[in-house]
Each structure stands twice: as structure tokens, then as C-alpha cells.
Amino acid sequence: MSERTGCRAAFLGYVLCLGTWSLAQVPCAIRVDHANARSSATAGSPIVANLKRNDVVQVIGDVAYWYRIRVTGVSSAYVAKSTCTVLAENDPGDDNIPVDDFFNPPVPAPVSPITSCVPKVVPANWGVCPAAGSGGIYGKAYLEKNRVTIPCAYEPTNVDQLLQLDHPPANVRSLPANDKRLQYLQALEAKAVMVDGYVALVKDGGQEGVNCKPSPRVDVHMELVDTDVMDPKKNRPTHVIAEVTPWFKEFVAGWSKSNLAQYASYVDDYSGVIQHPPAHVRIYGWMFFDEAHAGNGSKTWRGTEWEVHPITKIEVWESGTWKEVE
């Protein structure tokens, strides 16, 4: 592979600059399971093509955070730089991309502090259910799911950016401390984020070990999408999961399933017809990688194993302003 010239930048993805290459016919391999090609270089613009891992597209332009690419039948298309690895002309594709192109902890982005905020700790009775839940192979992960701190500063992101994150293996938490994949997970799970998106579905979660199953204590499961112009039933492989844990559900009265359901296009499942377009929300909380879903075919109904879990704050866009759900 030819030597590359590039730069990386902020938040949960990366920017790879083309450097000295000509923009005429530069091939770029899609390096994530799913990537949206959009009509303009903004996250909210219409999707004009869906790309998958190992697809190779031609880069014909370079703007901040985006490549302009050639897509058959589309006059203009842009893909986020973090989804695409530029190749040499004779590079056959993703199989030859160096490992160092993956699992590089992202550069921290400027956080958005909440004014007049005081950090809180949600009450939790660990005698009812320990922080490690029922333990077992996912005990370390349960400790992250059961975080009860509410921070006052969050890194802004969106559904598209979460879909572009690298996917560690299912055994990532047992890897050696110097393994890049474990370091990547730890860097991301240390982040409190604010996710801009739309509510596709709200339902009760299942009985899970994190909540000491069998138990009536279940999460409120939310599925987020990046657009309100498509029926969420039709784009399920692009959904991002966010969870209200029992501790937070008990602490915030308005976070019951029945109340949050008013913002969702679907409730409980995707049967029947859409009840209304998904509400525009900002979901605050902790980044979490749910390795229980790694490599098991779950991407038929979700776009990534990365979640917001637990949720620590919810806002909905109503009448031209952001309103906190309390």
C-alpha cells in the first residue's frame, strides 16, 4: 500500500485528509458496516445511497469532515470521512488496510456544559440488585450499564456518528491492558454524550442479568434514528439503542415507558402502522459497548453495538425550543 498523508480530528469519528493526492480518481473503501451517502456535506441532509463495509467508491472532492464521492445515478453524494479509508490506486480493499487505521481513541471534542447544573448521583439500593447485576461473563459490562452519576458536561454527537464507530470483539473486556481495542472501548465509555436524533421505538426491555433477572425491574428501551422523513420500520439496520435503567426510571417520574411512548413512532414493536413521525430529541448519557450483541447478527435490527446506556437526561424539541422530559 502506498504511503498516505493525512490528519485526524474530533469527536467519535476521524477526519482523514487527502493530503497531496489528486482528487480525480481516488478510491476509498467503506470501513464500517453501514454508511449513508448524503446529498450534501451535512449530517441532516437526505440519504441518496446506502453503502456497506468493503464497498469501494471514488472520491472526487474533499471538504471538512466529508468526501464528495461518485455514486451511479446520483448527481452529488457525500460520505463522512470517518467511514471511508482512502486507498492507493492498486489497493484491493479493506482486507489490506493496516490495523493501525482502526481502534484509535478519538480526540476529545469540546464538551457542552449545562448551565446551572450540579452533578448528581441517582439513589441506588445495591441490596436489591448489585452494581454488577447477576455477574457472570458480562459482570464488567453491567458495572458500566449501572452507572448512576449525572454529569454536567457532554460531548455532542448524532446517530450517524455513532454508526461509524469501530466494533471491538465480544471478548474486548478481557483483552490485555495494552490492546488497542480495549483502550478504544475504555476511551469511549469514559464519555458522556448528547445524541441528536429521532425516537423510532419505545418499549420495555427484557429481563436481563444487569437487573438481576428474573425481576420486574426492566429498562425502558429506546431506538433512535437520524431522520424523521422515513418510516423507522424501514431502516432498522441503522437504529441506535439508548436505555433508561431502573435506577433512573425510579428517579425521574417522566421516564416511564407510557410517558416516553408519546414521542415514538412505534410502541412495543413495529407491527401495525406508524403512529406519527419520530419526535426530535436530544438523549444525554454514557457511552456503552454492549458486547453481548457483537457478531451475532443483531445488525438486522440495530446499526451498532454502541449504545447510550444509561440515559441521564432527555430533551424533546417542541414549539421551537428544547424541553426537558422530567
Torsion, Cα 294 299 302 307, to 10 degrees, reads: 20
CATH annotation of 112-324: 2.40.50.140
Return the H-helix or E-strand segment holding 30.
strand 26-30
Most confident of 72-81, 105-114, 272-281: 272-281
The terminus-to-terminus CA distance of the chain in angstroms comes to 54
Q: Give pLDDT, residue 89.
A: 43
Answer whether residue 99 shows pLDDT above 70: no
Residue 295: what pLDDT?
64
Reported confidence tier of residue 296, pLDDT bands at 50, 70, 90: low
pLDDT top residue among 268 and 4 = 268
- In this structure, CATH architecture of domain 26-101: Roll (2.30)
CB 75 within 8 A of CB 151: no
Q: Which three cell numbers stand for residue 290?
A: 454492549
Cell of 57: 467508491
pLDDT at 91 over 60: no
Lowest mean pLDDT among 17-31, 155-169, 208-222: 17-31
Model confidence over 233-289: pLDDT tens digits?
A: 999 989 999 999 999 999 999 999 999 999 999 999 999 999 999 999 999 999 999
Distance from C-alpha of 98 to C-alpha of 96, rounded to nearest angstrom: 6
CA distance 42 to 174: 38
Q: How confident is the model at residue 297 (pLDDT cuts 50, 70, 90)?
A: low
User: Three cell numbers at 88?
Assistant: 492507493
Residue spans in the chain of domains classed CATH 2.30.30.40: 26-101
Of the candidates 170, 176, 179, the one whose C-alpha atom is nearest the C-alpha of residue 289 is: 170
Give whichever of 62-76, 172-186, 189-203 has the largest mean pLDDT: 189-203
CATH 2.40.50.140 in the chain: give the residue spans: 112-324
Measured CA to CA, the distance from residue 177 to residue 22 in angstroms comes to 40
What's the CA angle centered on 287, arms 94 and 227, to 5 degrees?
A: 70
57/310 Cα distance (integer angstroms): 37
pTM of the model: 0.75
Question: Rounded to an integer, what distance in angstroms lies between the CA atom of residue 44 and that of residue 283?
Answer: 17
